[in-house]
Amino acid sequence: MSEATQAALDARYTSVTVSLRQRLLALVAQVFTGGGSYRDADADAFVEQILPAVLGAQQQMGALTDAYLSAMVADMYGGAATAAGVAIPENIRGVPPEDVYRRPFVTVWTALSQGKSMTEAVRQGENRLASITGTDLQLVRTEATRQVLSNSSVRFYRRVLRGSYNCAMCVIASTQRYRKERLMPIHPGCDCGTRPLPPGRDPGQVIEPDLLEAAHAAVAKGTGQADRGGRLPDYRDIIIDRQHGELGPLMALRRHDFTAPKDLPGQ
């Protein structure tokens, strides 16, 4: 097992997938905010224009994840670092992507029906588009990981945090080991990765106890309450900066703009 090789694989995979995600998010945002009246015809034109890029990026994410995990497993367990080959469906949610990528327009229409300004309505639609696009890439990552690991000798995996800032839920999840049969539940906007754990004995449920305790302590200090189940407060809404050298973990509350059933006209 080569720690240097694995570190290089992690770094390269993180770099290319973060770049892929950023480029796609920038593209769909540019097209969405690039004009038009946000009517039905504009929604149709938007979907027709961006869907090839979205689906292409999803296939690329699947291939990158396949290559990364296959190389990682080979380095840990032996064998050839040959991509397993993954099949990523276009309807990664089980819903036609044409329907999914019209939803930001529904968000705009709903906001306008509530008396919001066009500027605010478009902002909410853009936020929903970013959440949808990023989440779909993560679903692809999850599906590719499931396919690769299911045919390997790997028993356990861990979540890998990306970047300096992560929600408290993801930070805490990164301190645990998971069986490959329970692969990586996510939340909207999550961009965590997966890394197989090397062969040998079961490392136990908690693999980074110091980080786990620090995260819970940061939540309790910043909000006045903490819950080991991550419910009160909602750990998804708490952002932890894990790399501040002087002040320790810093937190901020995140605000979401989601359209719930009660927000839709006539509901």
* Predicted local distance difference test score (pLDDT) of residue 241: 56
Q: How many CB atoms lie within 10 A of CB 119?
A: 8
Give 179-228 pLDDT, tens digit per residue.
Answer: 877 766 556 667 788 888 888 767 788 888 888 888 888 777 767 776 66
State phi, psi for 97 to the nearest 5 degrees.
-60, -25
- The token duo for 121 is 């309505």
Residue whose pair of structure tokens reads 């929903």 in the numeric block: 128
- In angstroms, what CA-CA distances link 207 with 173, 176, 211? 10, 6, 9
Give 41-82 pLDDT, tens digit per residue.
Answer: 999 999 999 999 999 999 999 999 999 999 989 888 887 778
Cβ-contact 54, 136 below 8 angstroms: yes
Count structural domains, the chain: 1
Structural domain including 9 reads 3-263
Long-range pairs for 222-227 at CB < 8 Å and ≥24 separation? 222/251, 223/251
* Predicted local distance difference test score (pLDDT) of residue 256: 38
Q: In angstroms, rounded to a whole number, what is the distance separating the alpha carbons of residues 190 and 140?
A: 12
Q: How many CB atoms lie within 10 A of CB 248?
A: 12
Pick the more confident residue, 267 or 88: 88
